[in-house]
Amino acid sequence: MTGGRRVRVMVAKPGLDGHDRGARIIARAYRDAGFEVVYSGLHQSPEEIVEAAIQEDVDMIGLSSLAGAHRYLFPRVVELLKENGIDDIIVVGGGIIPEDDIPKMKAAGIKEIFTPGSPLEQIVQWVKDHVTPREV
Amino acid sequence: MSMTFNPKVFGDIEKAEERWRKELEEIFRQHGERLERFSTVSDVEIGRLYTPLDVRDQRYMDALGFPGEYPFTRGVQPSMYRGRLWTMRMFAGLGTAKDTNRRFHVLVNAGQTGLSTAFDMPTLMGYDSDASKARGECGRCGVAIDTLKDMEDLFDGLPIDQITTSMTINPPASVVWAMYIAMAENRGIPRNVIGGTIQNDMLKEFIAQKTFMCPPRPSVRLVTDTVEFGTREVPRWNTISISGYHIREAGSTAVQELAFTLADGIAYTEEALKRGLPVDSFAPRFSFFFNSHLDFFEEIAKFRAARRMWGKIMRERFKAQNPRSWWLRFHTQTAGCSLTAQQPYNNVVRTALEALAAVLGGTQSLHTNSLDEVLAIPTEEAATIALRTQQIIAEESGVANTIDPLGGSYFVEGLTDKMERDAFEIIRKIDDMGGMLAAIERNYPQQEIADAAYHYQRQIDAGEKTVVGVNKYVTEEDVPVEILEIDEELERLQIEKLNRVKSLRDQTRVAECLERVGEACAADTNVMEPVIAAVKAQATLQEVCDVYRSVFGIYRDPGIY
């Protein structure tokens, strides 16, 4: 290793839906790609996610939602990060996100949205291209 | 003890096969075979050709028999679809009870023959619409039910004494069922007349669907309470729908779906037996729920194997005497996870093939997914096309004109036998661990499913498995599909309604009722009567579930990936 730590990524399931197949597959793909992965487990509130992300010093949070509650939950995570004075943890999202919601999510500070059918390699590559370890 | 074929015939077939194989290999040497390896969606390797040699050990009466007769491979009823078609039961739930009631009326008027209710996430998790955890989720992917008033609005104007109702509800199943019973009784319909199903399968929640409140053991205790109560009081109700559907959606193979589902059924049977219930008193009311995925023959084989396996489990393992206890009756839903957001109209075709497999596999009841399900809650138009798909299969295609038309296919029989062997092997492993509860506690099924899901995704990414429109035949243009919008106002309106109900009820009576629920939980006596009394007093869903949580504790996801 030529200095610097590995990228730390948190995969998180906000809200009440239990559809975690995608989140778990992505957590594994990140791990295989050499990132350090923290998986939140299910049924997390935005508050719990942000608190864990801060404690774990992650560089990125990947949110997954399939039950239609992303409109409230995703922006809420960004908002809470800001409230904690954090502007360098990148937030991305995935799941069943209607096309029309994607610009709204991006306007709310979600950097990228991955919808069903996105190849794992593409999702991993995005992290490699956009996320570097934060100064902590 | 007659063999399917005269053994002398096999020698001739073997010789002929040898000749054919040499010729075939010569052709492939020159032109190559289309794929290096042919396998099912579940990655079971498939041979080039199946002949009588593949079923040479099958004894017709032992392996197949006749429909309605043990081991039921060819169907649970003697008449199957010659007598009556399967129940067309579309899963519906959106917004408020009134919104969903409207969708129910549309579907019944379009020819649907059974009702099926989807609840929103807060209801599924035992929260009211005003809980902080419920923010943003109210009415989003199902209907919000907080109190008996909501249940009354949900079934308003529907003939619940004539039509059966399925409710996909698990941790709070006892509460929602109590509301349904109370709603019927308030209408003057006695509990021994109503018919339907509560999903109420908590084991698969820990394995796959991940909707839980309390830890596995008390969760199963609540399920057993409903089984016991249903046996005594609500004899036409299916108290559990043992569900492989979600296991498959979470990424399992077909064999894992089969094995884990039947292992769950074994666990529920053992729990009810521990209560002192005779097996033949409750087993006839167990029902099942399977996924129908895209691999046509693999799915048909799975359904046929499932019936035969459950028959053997009930008769041989649990010594059930009543032939109805041996029946595996099942509902099927086409595979949501097979649908694609890309080129969504292709989903109509996928669903039609999956529905056809379910019918050829002998399902009793079927839900066909809508083409837009991968994007949002279905629109009325998309839900109607999905229902029409079933009606075309039933009444135009001719496949329902004879019973088990693929019985005797060398391939289907060979695959059915293989599914059964492989699934029984997994069940043996679970038995060795001390049963399904113990296996779940060591995360065995969870890890197996995670591995299978990852393997499948890797195969898609590598192009080893084709998904049209996703990794092959990709187009750039966007196909516009109408999306159902859930009104943002809905949450506020539902909370207002909840507050109105709370302000009008007798608070002392509610508190007393909840206390009795808590006493039943702690004393290990059946919770159903106290819960029915509580919901009749307008106790909310969450109030009852909070009692469960306080007595039994809550369960946290171990986060296996």
Q: What is the pLDDT of residues B237-254, one digit of tens each?
A: 999 999 999 999 999 999
> Starting at the edge strand that comes first in sequence, how are the strands of the sheet with B237-238 ordered?
B237-238, B196-198, B165-168, B114-118, B87-92, B365-367, B330-334, B286-292, B240-243
Contact B453 A41 (CB under 8 A): no
Q: Among B61, B64, B51, which residue's Cα sits nearest to residue B10?
A: B51
Residue A2 confidence (pLDDT): 43
List of long-range contacts for B444-448, beta carbons under 8 Å, 24+ apart: B445/B207, B445/B208, B445/B247, B445/B256, B445/B260, B446/B206, B446/B207, B446/B208, B446/B558, B446/B560, B447/B560, B448/B252, B448/B256
Residue B4 confidence (pLDDT): 56
Contact B454 A115 (CB under 8 A): no
Q: What is the pLDDT of residues B74-130, one digit of tens each?
A: 999 999 999 999 999 888 898 899 999 998 998 889 888 889 999 999 999 999 999
Contact B121 A67 (CB under 8 A): yes
Contact B478 A16 (CB under 8 A): no
Average pLDDT over residues B301-328: 98
Amino acid, res. A98: P
Are B200 and B170 spatial neighbours (Cβ–Cβ below 8 Å)?
yes
Q: What's the CA gap between B80 and B401, in Å, rounded?
A: 10
Return the DSSP state at B196.
E
Of A16, A19, A25, the CB nearest to B133: A16
Residue B5 confidence (pLDDT): 59
Residues 6+ apart with CB under 8 A from A71: A101, A104, B136
Q: Which is higher by pLDDT, B454 or B7?
A: B454
User: Which residues from chain A sit within 8 angstroms of residue B337, using beta carbons?
Assistant: 21
Of B121, B340, B461, the CB nearest to A15: B121
Element (H, E) at B23: helix B7-31
**ipTM exceeds 0.85:** no
Contact B141 A17 (CB under 8 A): yes
User: Which residues from chain A sit within 8 angstroms of residue B377, using beta carbons?
Assistant: 68
Give backbone dihedrals phi and psi of B486, rounded to 5 degrees, phi first.
-95, 130
Contact A16 B342 (CB under 8 A): no
Per-residue pLDDT at B257 exceeds 90: yes
Q: Among B377, B530, B414, which residue's Cα sits nearest to residue B47?
A: B414
Q: Which is it for strands B196-198 and B237-238: parallel, antiparallel or unpaired?
A: parallel
Percent of chain B's residues with pLDDT above 90: 87
The pLDDT mean for chain B works out to: 94
Are B372 and B378 spatial neighbours (Cβ–Cβ below 8 Å)?
yes
Nearest CA in chain B to A74: B136
Nearest CA in chain B to A71: B136
DSSP string, B260-277: HHHHHHHHHHHHHHHTT-
DSSP 3-state percent helix, strand, coil across chain A (nearest 5): 40, 20, 40
Whether omega before A46 lies within 30 degrees of 0, making that bond cis, reads no
Element (H, E) at B167: strand B165-168
Confidence label for B483 from pLDDT (cuts 50, 70 and 90): confident
> Partners of B332 in the beta sheet?
B290, B366
Return the DSSP state at B315.
I
Q: What is the pLDDT of residues B5-49, one digit of tens each?
A: 577 888 999 999 999 999 999 999 999 999 989 999 999 999 999
User: Which residues from chain B sit within 8 angstroms of residue A68, using beta carbons?
Assistant: 137, 140-141, 376-377, 486
Are B540 and B128 spatial neighbours (Cβ–Cβ below 8 Å)?
yes
Taking CA atoms, B148 is separated from A62, A114, B175, B302, B368, in Å, by 39, 40, 10, 39, 29
Per-residue pLDDT at B477 exceeds 80: no
User: Which residues from chain B sit within 8 angstroms of residue A45, using beta carbons?
Assistant: 132-133
Q: Which is higher by pLDDT, B431 or B489?
A: B431
Residue B488 confidence (pLDDT): 75
Return the DSSP state at B125.
T
Per-residue pLDDT at B136 exceeds 90: no
Taking CA atoms, B222 is separated from A11, A24, B165, B237, B419, in Å, by 33, 29, 21, 16, 32
User: Which residues from chain B sit within 8 angstroms of residue A71, using beta carbons?
Assistant: 136
Confidence label for A99 from pLDDT (cuts 50, 70 and 90): confident
Q: What is the pLDDT of residues B192-210, one digit of tens each?
A: 999 999 999 999 999 999 9
Q: What's the CA gap between B413 and B300, in Å, rounded?
A: 10
Question: B130 to chain A, minimum CA–CA distance in Å?
Answer: 14
Nearest CA in chain B to A44: B133
Q: What's the CA gap between B542 and B174, in Å, rounded?
A: 12
Q: What's the CA gap between B226 and B286, in Å, rounded?
A: 12
- Quote the pTM value: 0.92
Residue B2 confidence (pLDDT): 43
Contact A24 B453 (CB under 8 A): yes
Instruction: Tell me which residues of chain B, numbers 438 to 477, contact chain A at a CB-CB cutoff of 8 Å.
Output: 450, 453-454, 457-458, 460-461, 467, 470-471
Average pLDDT over residues B287-296: 97
Confidence label for B175 from pLDDT (cuts 50, 70 and 90): very high
Residue A85 confidence (pLDDT): 96
> Partners of B116 in the beta sheet?
B91, B166
User: Which residues from chain B sit within 8 angstroms of residue A72, using beta carbons?
Assistant: 135-136
User: Which residues from chain B sit within 8 angstroms of residue A16, using beta carbons?
Assistant: 121-122, 124-125, 127, 133-134, 137, 211
| Cβ count near B55 (within 10 Å) | 23
Amino acid, res. B476: E
Lowest pLDDT segment from B96-105, B324-333, B471-480: B471-480
Q: What is the pLDDT of residues B275-286, one digit of tens each?
A: 999 999 999 999
Q: What's the CA gap between A64 and A92, in Å, rounded?
A: 9
Confidence label for B1 from pLDDT (cuts 50, 70 and 90): very low
Are A40 and A12 spatial neighbours (Cβ–Cβ below 8 Å)?
yes
Q: What's the start-to-end Cα distance of chain B, in Å?
A: 49
Q: What is the pLDDT of residues B364-422, one digit of tens each?
A: 999 999 999 888 778 889 999 999 999 999 999 999 999 999 999 999 999 999 999 99
Q: What's the CA gap between B137 and B126, in Å, rounded?
A: 13
Structure token digits, residue B473: 């035949």
The stretches of B194-253 forming alpha helices (DSSP H) are 202-204, 216-233, 245-249
Contact B461 A99 (CB under 8 A): no
Instruction: Tell me which residues of chain B, numbers 480 to 499, contact chain A at a CB-CB cutoff of 8 Å.
Output: 483, 486
Q: What distance separates the 2 farthest-apart alpha carbons in chain A?
A: 43
DSSP string, A3-66: SSPPPEEEEE-BSS----HHHHHHHHHHHHTT-EEEE--SSB-HHHHHHHHHHTT-SEEEEEE-
Q: Among B362, B237, B243, which residue's Cα sits nearest to residue B299?
A: B362
User: Which residues from chain A sit within 8 angstroms of residue B559, using beta carbons?
Assistant: 39-42
Contact B454 A28 (CB under 8 A): yes
Per-residue pLDDT at B437 exceeds 80: yes
Nearest CA in chain B to A32: B454
Confidence label for A5 from pLDDT (cuts 50, 70 and 90): confident
